Structure 1
Amino acid sequence: MTANTVSTGTAVPRARRRIPVRTPHQAARAKGSRLRGGRLAAVPWALPALALVGVLLVYPFFRSVYGSVFEDNGFTSSYTGLDNYARLADDPIFGRSLLNTVMWVAGTLLLPVVAGLLIAVATHRTRWGPAAQLVIVLPFAISGAATAVLWRFMLTSDGAVNQVLRGVGLDSWAQSWLLEWPQNTISMIVASTWQATGLNVVLFAIGLRAIPRETVEAAQLDGATGWRMFRFITLPQLRAMTVVVVGMAIVNSLKAFDMIWILTQGGPSRSSETLALTMYREAFRLFHVGYGSAIALVLSVIVVASSWIYLRRQMPSATAR
């Protein structure tokens, strides 16, 4: 027999190990210390990203805010307060640039987004769909500068578009596409649509493949086909992807630059400039740094406000689905 048995042969259980009991206050303190330790452990990993954002985004923004209250020509600088912002209201070039920017936003939402959606739906689950989508996506692989050079060759007075129109007997349709407003802005929006539609097709095609097949089959059993299928099944299921596509289209149209610069350089007489191009010309070509900073700040506010308002209105309903 061992020391834990008695003469009757009955085993005596060993003493159980006592587990210390924490009070609720002690448990909360221990949990808080663990959370703080986890958060502090993540700080060194986040510092490089925060530093990069600070250098590339935060500092330039506040530097523009500071520069917008000065008149700076690159050599001398003097404090002017809000004079640069007051000048915006009286500047006809700024007004035309703002109008062109609105046209770019409307055109980018109307043409590439709608065209991308229709093409993606038309080529979805068809035998020739992947090949057609590949052809449409190819222009997106071309840089914006190369796209602008190509369309400049087509849209000049003796370019390919006018030559084709004259060749088929439509001489009255031939015109100077890039020399008069507003057709120069509309022509550049069409050129941008040719390139941007491919990305929208890809994104909408991904959204279509994510629609559950059971949902489509149930709708077909209920008699939904054609327009009814698109209106009540396909379009609601693509709500989340539409939010992404439209958000990207708004931001890209507000900062449109390379296409306009190569095709018209904002001309003639600065009639086709957008806010991004006007900011560049004032700050880096005419050396009105303070006035250019004010335009840049206005553009930044428009981009952030429009994106925030749109996402705030759309994301709750999109995530709820």
Structure 2
Amino acid sequence: MSARAPMLGRFRHGYVAPAALLVAGLLYVPFIWTAYLSFTSYDGLAPPEWVGLRNFGKLLQDPALISSLGNTLLWVVGTMALPVGLGLLVAVLSYDIKGGVWYRVPFMLPYALSGAGLAMVWSPILSHDGIANLLLGVDTAFLQKAPHNTIAMLLVWTWQQLGVNTLLFVVGLQSIPKAPIEAARLDGASGWQLFRHVIWPLMAPLTAVVVGLALVASLKTFDIVWVLTQGGPGRNSETLAVTMYKDTFVASEYGYGASVAVVLTVVTGLASYLYLRRQVR
């Protein structure tokens, strides 16, 4: 065994090299190609023509990009407040009570649907002559005006994501040691005081994971927006992901669409870095 150990240590990098090369090929090669295309004029047929920073200069003057940036920010804020915040609330209220698991089941069911399937379910409900207007007896343009359309889609997104966030927070509650909670109760802490000063700090590691996943998911929202509004009317409900798709595959401006993809990657990476850096501190 002692003779084999140095050999295993000497070739340890070779064991992971195939997997590392596969991951690098699937992640980094497409990004490098996209970054290259962002500096070109390319329609998908003729060879790419180098144009330097022209695509990024055009982005700065594109009102659709400014609108999609605002909508993406609204998605981020809404995701933190609704799916994450309500998920924590449902987890705390349904935890440690008799039959609590059955209270959480209805919140879990929508997560089984894909984003596109979810949008197909809600499209006839939120349309101008849909079920919501008939039941409410009003004439509200849920999907026709900004920012009402983004808010309506956020509520749909909440309906899907609430269950999985609740489940993750329940796992966090189950992992909390009983001793600190019992000690706090003996000291007279209960209700909001117990949650704020004992339970919430002990759940900080899991909360960081839940918020991080929700942050990345909200920044790249596509399927719900595309099926419900396709970024319209006009382009007033687009997110960065929808803008990238329309500029690339609808308008066939692959170079310009690649520059939007680079902006989306930078925004997602920067937001993730700042969040993780704050958590480490």
TM-score range, shorter chain: over 0.9
Contact 1:181/1:271 (<8 A) preserved: yes
Where does 1:212-251 land on structure 2 (aligned, <5 Å)?
212-251=177-216
SS of 2:171 mapped into structure 1:
helix
Name the counterpart of 2:167.
Answer: 202
Where does 1:170-209 land on structure 2 (aligned, <5 Å)?
171=138, 174-209=139-174
- In the alignment, residue 122 of structure 2 is paired with which amino acid? W
Cα distance, 1:34 vs. partner?
6.4
- In the alignment, residue 251 of structure 2 is paired with which amino acid? L
SS of 1:75 mapped into structure 2:
coil
Where does 1:146-165 land on structure 2 (aligned, <5 Å)?
146-165=117-136
- In the alignment, residue 272 of structure 2 is paired with which amino acid? S
Query: Of the candidates 35, 49, 52, which is equivalent to residue 81 of structure 1?
Result: 52
Name the counterpart of 2:15.
Answer: 45
Partners of 1:108 and 1:155 in 2: CA distance: 20
Name the counterpart of 1:71.
Answer: 41
Name the counterpart of 1:99.
Answer: 70
Partners of 2:12 and 2:162 in 1: CA distance: 40
Partners of 2:194 and 2:29 in 1: CA distance: 50
Contact 1:240/1:315 (<8 A) preserved: no
Where does 1:9-158 land on structure 2 (aligned, <5 Å)?
37-76=7-46, 77-158=48-129
Partners of 2:182 and 2:124 in 1: CA distance: 48
- In the alignment, residue 83 of structure 2 is paired with which amino acid? P
Name the counterpart of 1:257.
Answer: 222
Cα distance, 1:133 vs. partner?
1.0
Name the counterpart of 1:271.
Answer: 236
- Structure 2: gaps spanning 5 or more residues: none
Name the counterpart of 1:305.
Answer: 270
Partners of 1:39 and 1:299 in 2: CA distance: 40
Cα distance, 1:285 vs. partner?
1.2
Provide TM-score, normalisation by structure 1.
Answer: 0.83
Provide TM-score, normalisation by structure 2.
Answer: 0.95
Partners of 2:97 and 2:117 in 1: CA distance: 32
Cα distance, 1:38 vs. partner?
3.8
Partners of 1:64 and 1:287 in 2: CA distance: 14
Partners of 1:95 and 1:299 in 2: CA distance: 13
Residue-pair matches, total? 278
- In the alignment, residue 266 of structure 1 is paired with which amino acid? G
Overall identity of the aligned pairs, in %:
42
SS of 1:178 mapped into structure 2:
coil
Q: Write the deviation string for residues 67-120 of structure 1: whole angstroms up to 9, x where unpaired.
A: 111011123332110011111110001110111111111111111110000000
SS of 1:223 mapped into structure 2:
coil
Partners of 1:94 and 1:48 in 2: CA distance: 39
Partners of 2:229 and 2:133 in 1: CA distance: 18
Cα distance, 1:57 vs. partner?
0.7
Query: Of the candidates 243, 251, 263, which is equivalent to residue 286 of structure 1?
Result: 251
Partners of 2:242 and 2:21 in 1: CA distance: 29
Q: Write the deviation string for residues 28-77 of structure 1: whole angstroms up to 9, x where unpaired.
A: xxx9x966x44443233312321221221100111011111101112333
Give the aligned CA root-mean-square deviation in angstroms: 1.6
SS of 2:11 mapped into structure 1:
helix
Partners of 1:289 and 1:104 in 2: CA distance: 26
Cα distance, 1:213 vs. partner?
1.0
Partners of 1:53 and 1:310 in 2: CA distance: 24
Q: Write the deviation string for residues 230-263 of structure 1: whole angstroms up to 9, x where unpaired.
A: 1101111110111001000110001100000100
Partners of 1:284 and 1:291 in 2: CA distance: 11
Aligned CA distance change for structure 1 residues 40 and 187 (closer, same or farther; 3 Å): farther
